[in-house]
Each structure stands twice: as C-alpha cells, then as structure tokens.
Chain A
Amino acid sequence: MSLTAHGTWRINEPNAFPVTHAANAYCYRCPFGKEPTSCNLECAKDIETAIQTTTDGQIAAFIAEPIQGVGGFITPPPEYFKEAAAIARKYGGLFIADEVQSGFGRTGTKWFGIEQWGVVPDIMTGAKGIANGLPMGWMITTDAVSQALNGKVYLNTFGGNPISATAALATVEAMEKRDLPGNAARVGAHFRNRLEELRDKYPLIGDVRGKGLMQALELVKDRKTKEPAKPELQKVIESAREQGLVIGKGGLMGNVIRMTPPMTVSVSDVDEAIGKLDKALAVGSGA
C-alpha cells in the first residue's frame, strides 16, 4: 500500500517503507506545464531530484507501470522509461516494471507494456490478465537477482497452484495460437481512431490515451480549465449500461473511462461499442 500514489487505495496507513514518489509522467496535466512535443523529460529527471533530496543516494529500485492502470491509463512520453531506468541504475537501483494491467498482449504486438518503450527491466510483476480471470500473480527476474534468495525460504500456500498455473499457461498459449497481441494492435488501432472521432465530436473528452486495447478517455467540464467531469462520467457509464455496454472508470480524479475488452474483440464489436458510447457521451454532455 505504501507504493501507491492514489489516495483512494490508502486506508489509514502511513508509508511503511521509505518510498519516495517522483513526478507523474502525466502529459495531459504536466506537473511542469510542458507539452510532450517540446519537453525535456522533466518528469523523468525528477526521479534524480527525488533520489538526491529524499534518499541517502542508494536506492533499492524504481517501480512503475509502463502505462498506469487505475491511474487512468496515463501513457508517458516515449523516451520516459529509457531515462527513468538509467537514473535508477545510476544510483544502484533495479528497474521494476509493474505489468499488472499493461502485460500479456494488452498494449498490442508485444507481450509486455514496457517493450513498447524499448527498455528491459530487472524485474517484472503482474497479475490480472495472465490467467483469463483466475486469481494469479507473478514476478519474473534475472538469474543474478534471484540468487539473493538462495538458501532462504519463501513460498506461499496457494501461489501458482495447479489450477491457476494451468489457467495461465492455457491463456498464454491461446493468445499465441490466436495471435491476440497482434489482434490487440490491429483492433486497438481501429478503436483508437473511432475514439478520436468521438473526441472531435464531444468537448467533454479532454484526452484520448493508451495503447492497443488499453484505451482511456479523460472527461473534462471545460477543455481550457480541464476541470474533471466526474458526475458526467457517471452519467456516461450509466447510459452505456442501459444500452448494454460495460466500461470501466478510473483516474486520479475519478474522471477517466477505461476500456479493455477481451483481446478476442472484433472490429464489428468495437463499432457496436462506439455506437453505444456515442449515445452515452451525448447523455453525459447533457445533450
């Protein structure tokens, strides 16, 4: 719980470990007031400032989601992770990519979200999509890092039990056989185009972001002030529900629609969903 920078998920708990948070790579609301096309990766460089000012200069690791999940699919500038991982390693830290939502083909073509940024982590962690809905978590690391646990006892009663492990293996094999990472890229690109059309139609949509079949709409009352449109979001998802479309919500301010259909989804499923979403956004906009 110490790791999260999302207040909703903290319950009466102070930081249990020395965790420091760096500035968010949140281009739509850049903490440095920059634009992604002309910035100098101030958000990544803030990691170095955080290490220099709030640690003894020796860090264990830097952990981040390649595309933030509950945070509202915040997608960093393409060069962010190269810089971030280099800074972490400069101070002796490992780089951990948390693939809980971005893993297993979700972002398209590649298996893991971090591969979209051309960076190899020292550890990856994940869960969710790995077993098609059965409970399963996992982490993977290098031989070298793993040797630190030589001679120690660390296991868990139900972790990797035969049922969850079989489900996970069957899921990955089914995804390989049916080229679902490829489908996530192809159908995801179509989905993204259709969402951008909706953005052109509804001022309520401030930002469209994500990759592959991990797409989000950030809703704002006003495109200039970017005031979060939280009640409007609830109207949108309730209207979608009435029409038979389930969509997720999220975001630091609860104003982001998250969409992650099963990766078997087709172009016609997407078009059907867009039709429903179009009507829902009209309701949310008060039209």
Chain B
Amino acid sequence: MSPTTPKAKAKSRKDIVAKHKEFLLPSLGSHYADPLPFVSGKGVHLTDADGKEYLDFFGGIVTVSVGHCDEEITERIVDQLRTLQHTSTLFPIEAQADLAEKLAAIAPGDLKRSFPGRSSRTRAPRPTRRPSRWRRPTPDAGRWWRSAIATRAARPVPCR
C-alpha cells in the first residue's frame, strides 16, 4: 500500500451532504449547522472535501489516540487484512489472545481476563443486556453476573 494518505477528491462536499440527508436516518445529526464531511486525515490534521485543513482537537470522537492514518498502525492492519480477515470467536484468534495478554499487562491489580466486543455497545457483558437471566444462579462471582447494575455516579439531580 502507499504509505501516504491519498488526498481524496471524489465528490464535492455538497454532494456528500445531500446524499447523507436523503438516505440516512435523521437521528444522525450534524456537529455543525452546515454539515462537514472530512475526506482524509494525517496525524492531528483532517482535510474536508473542499481541501481545507483542520486541527482535530476532538480526535475523531475521543477515538483517534495515535493520530489519523498512523503509518505503523495502518501497515499492521493492512497486513492482517491480507492474511486473515475473519473466522469468528468460535476459533481462537492470535491477535485477540495477544491483545488480551497486553491488556492484562497494563491493567491495574488482578484484572486479567478480557472479553472483546464490536464497539462500546458490546463492551458490557450479557447479564446487563438479558434481563431474563438476572436471577439465574451462578457460582462465585457475586451478583454482577446474575443481577443487574444498581448504581452509577451520575443522575440528573437538580444542579446549581
């Protein structure tokens, strides 16, 4: 692959926005009054469909930790994509096991065993998603697995 980010030209900003508005759900609101599609990124910079450059101080949406299209990370992703893309979690996955080992190494205390999800929607294990299983007796692990989450730090109490 080319190590540099291609300057995407493709469609104009107007065309992208028009298509977005016509075919996507209205719940996908825009950050700006006039929607802004980005077409490429490098490091801390983004470029829009008109070629204008921006400093990205939102990091995607708190996602881009090491910068946009980082060459080292991109190379490894592309290399993996060319080697093996998917088999499902029915089969042990080398990269997943390596990642879990790494997470155990950097996590505090005795945190050791991981469960990987697709995104933040699946980062919580099933007991929080399956109310019918709340009361199913399970050994050893406290009420977390069979009950549901009881408290959280934030509640919409009146603020001053």
Contacts and interface: CB of A to CB of B under 8 A. Distances in A.
A276 interface: yes
A115 B103 CA distance: 14
B54 A244 contact: yes
A5 B32 contact: no
Interface of B: 31-33, 36, 43-44, 46, 52-68, 70, 72-73, 76-77, 79-81, 83-90, 93-96, 98-99, 102-104, 106-128, 131, 134, 138-160
Contacts of B44: 261-262, 264-265, 269
Contacts of A148: 138-141, 144-146
Contacts of A130: 65
B63 A166 contact: no
B89 A23 contact: no
Interface string A147-170: 111000011111111111111111
Contact of B123 (A100, A165, A171): A100
B107 A252 contact: no
Contacts, number: 401
Given A60-B150, A173-B102, 8 more contacts: A24-B155, A96-B149, A129-B64, A132-B67, A136-B119, A139-B124, A156-B118, A159-B122
Contacts of A78: none
A93 interface: yes
A232 interface: no
Interface residues of A, number: 132
Given A139-B123, A156-B122, A237 B32 contact: yes
B124 to A, nearest CB: 6
27 contacts: A17-B128, A18-B147, A19-B150, A23-B155, A62-B152, A64-B152, A96-B149, A106-B62, A120-B108, A125-B123, A126-B120, A140-B103, A142-B109, A160-B89, A160-B93, A160-B117, A162-B85, A162-B87, A163-B85, A169-B95, A170-B73, A170-B76, A173-B102, A241-B54, A244-B53, A262-B66, A272-B55
A228 B45 CA distance: 30
A115 B32 contact: no
Contact of A124 (B70, B89, B107): B107
A70 to B, nearest CB: 9
A23 B38 CA distance: 39
Nearest to B114: A140
A235 to B, nearest CB: 10
Contact of A21 (B60, B61, B119, B156): B156
Contacts of B138: 148-149
A208 interface: no
Contacts of B90: 155
Contacts of B94: 162
Nearest to B38: A246
Contacts of A132: 63-67, 70, 73
B82 to A, nearest CB: 11
A259 interface: yes
Contacts of B109: 120-121, 142
A76 interface: yes
Nearest to B102: A172
Contact of B142 (A80, A93, A139, A265): A93
Contacts of A121: 108-109, 111
Interface in A240-270: 241, 244-249, 252, 258-265, 269
